[in-house]
Amino acid sequence: MRKVLYIIGSIAYASLIGCGEQKVEHDYSNADIQFLSNLSLTNLSAPLESESNQYSDSLAAAKMGHRLFFDSDLSSNGSVSCATCHQPAKYFTDGLKRSVAIGMVKRNAPSVLPSAWSHWQFWDGRKDSLWSQALGPFEDPSEHNFSRTKVANHIIKNYREPYEETFTVIPESIYSIVQEIDATPLGTTRQKSLWRKLLPEQQKAINQVFANVGKALMAYQRQLKMQPAKFDGFVDALSTNSLTSSNVLSNSEQNGMRLFLGRANCVSCHNGPLFSNFEFHNIGAPESDKQQVDLGRFSAISALVNDEFTCLSEYSDAEPENCMEMRFLKKKGPELVGAFKTPSLRNIGKTAPYMQTGQFDTLEQVISHYDMPTPPYYNRLQHPSRPHFDILPLKLSEQEKADLISFLQTLTSPIDSDDLWWQAPLE
């Protein structure tokens, strides 16, 4: 575990600098300020390089992905789009414990805002890229309840021009197939058998369109930016020696920040400008279904190995030797059991409920759990091994719990109403 850092800085008010604003003196050391800067959005790097999607930074692909993200005709009832569950006004979440569209999804909808900085997608990381992730919801019976032939048909009918300008020409030989046949290797018995009857080159041409739809959606999500939150304003002011009464954090917020970085050690997992290491841990959040426990990262490994759209697949643009995540995939060990990806804490005050199935409704409940965690539920018949437990009780006072929550609330970015990527496209 990382060395715990104790920030000792404190604040005293000084000279008036006009407009009722006061310059604020403080005793944060240079080392403190340096450490805090690592958490500011100002120092957020560009999204991860994507070897497997050569279109990840193409503006044309992003524009097409923007339309696709909000397009509810890509669903069996014509009313479900990605934005049904990832709503811009809710920081790209849906406010539900578990998402609902055609049916109810097993898990809670995370924000997509931090996704371009994470190698693994979904709570269990069962997808190794944002483009491959995007293909899941289309064929999930409780989400879009669509199939890859229907997606391809919709692209041919409504997006052929932007698609062919960005990617490549769609072979006309599949036009009538995708119009007439509802097929996928992942669907119902009938859909699977229809899929098996297609020639390998037909399957490949359909998969290629499907994969490129994912690549466009990935390019779109990489354009989503967050505005600096109150916390970033404070850190940036410390760094530029311009701390004033209008950008300083309150005493309670600063105490919460010290706990977060110090004794409560939240920063050992929630670190960097997005407040996440994007790795997998078991923090013992209560199981929502003890009859069928969620094995998290453990189950994701076989899903990844069998996935048809990973970095190692024929639809990837990467050379296999550059697929580091898949090549060095950790496949075994008790630390995988019941482990979930550390979520970003950006906008956390606005994205309740919390945890992978929305087990907690409020931040108070989350903090109480970290204060006195229940060890992970263990059932020998369901778990291959006793799960590894990653946190220790904190024994916080009521005031300290309140301070931690005040601090978490400073991570909310304002919504920029002029940012067109955050809105449904005009056409």
Site membership for ligand HEC, residue 85 (CB under 6 A): yes
Nearest approach in angstroms of CB 269 to ligand HEC is 3
One of 62, 226, 355, 411 touching ligand HEC (CB under 6 A)? 355
Residue selected from 390, 411, 412, 413 as contacting ligand HEC according to rule CB under 6 A: 390
Kindly state the number of chain residues that form the binding site for ligand HEC, as judged by CB under 6 A.
Answer: 48
Nearest to ligand HEC of 44, 244 (CB atom): 44
Q: Which of residues 120-149 bind ligand HEC (CB under 6 A)?
A: 121-123, 130, 133-134, 137-138, 143-144
CA dist 160 and 152 (Å) reads 10
- Greatest C-alpha distance within the chain: 79
Asked if 283 touches ligand HEC (CB under 6 A), the answer is: yes
What's the closest the beta carbon of residue 17 comes to ligand HEC, in angstroms? 34
Please pick, from the candidates 216, 311, 336, 366, the single residue that binds ligand HEC as defined by CB under 6 A: 366
Distance CA 56, CA 113 (A): 15
Return contacts of 178-184, CB within 8 angstroms, 24+ apart: 178/149, 178/150, 178/152, 178/153, 178/206, 179/153, 181/149, 182/147, 182/149, 182/150, 183/147, 183/148, 183/149, 184/139, 184/147, 184/148, 184/149
Cα–Cα distance, 336 to 18 (Å, whole number)? 56
> Binders of ligand HEC among 183-212, rule CB under 6 A?
none
**Interaction residues for ligand HEC, span 64-83 (CB under 6 A):** 80, 82
> How large is the C-alpha radius of gyration of the chain?
23
- End-to-end CA separation in angstroms for the chain: 50
Let me know if 106 is exposed, middle or buried by CB neighbors in 10 A (0-12, 13-18, 19+).
Answer: middle
Instruction: Kindly write out the interface string for residues 147-186 of this chain, putting x where it contacts ligand HEC by CB under 6 A and - elsewhere.
Output: ----------------------------------------
Instruction: Please choose, from the candidates 111, 116, 186, the residue with its C-alpha nearest in 3D space to the C-alpha of residue 148.
Output: 186
Q: How far apart are CA 310 and CA 131, in angstroms?
A: 9
For residue 70, what are its two tokens? 């909000």
Work out whether 343 is an interface residue with ligand HEC (CB under 6 A). yes
Answer for which of 66, 119, 150, 270 binds ligand HEC (CB under 6 A) is: 270
Query: In the bound complex, what is the minimum distance in angstroms from residue 173's beta carbon to ligand HEC?
Result: 26
Q: Looking at 28-36, 230-238, 265-273, 374-382, which segment touches ligand HEC (CB under 6 A)?
A: 265-273
Contacts 24+ apart (CB under 8 A), 90-96: 90/350, 90/351, 91/347, 91/350, 91/351, 91/415, 92/224, 93/351, 95/351, 95/352, 95/353, 96/353, 96/358
- Applying CB under 6 A, the span of 36-44, 174-182, 234-242, 344-352 interacting with ligand HEC comes to 344-352
Do the Cβ atoms of 95 and 249 come closer than 8 Å? no
Measured from the CB atom, the residue of 145 and 202 that comes closer to ligand HEC is 145
Where does this chain touch ligand HEC (CB under 6 A) — which range of 104-112, 227-235, 318-326, 413-421? 104-112
- Nearest distance from C-beta of residue 99 to ligand HEC, angstroms: 4
Q: Is 304 in the site for ligand HEC (CB under 6 A)?
A: no
Cβ–Cβ contacts within 10 Å for residue 199, how many?
10
Q: Interface residues for ligand HEC in 313-342 (CB under 6 A)? A: 340, 342
Among 37, 268, 365, 385, binds ligand HEC (CB under 6 A): 268
* Residues in touch with ligand HEC (CB under 6 A): 80, 82, 84-86, 99, 101, 105, 107-110, 112, 115, 121-123, 130, 133-134, 137-138, 143-144, 217, 264-266, 268-270, 281, 283, 285, 340, 342-343, 345, 348, 351, 354-356, 366, 370, 390-391, 404
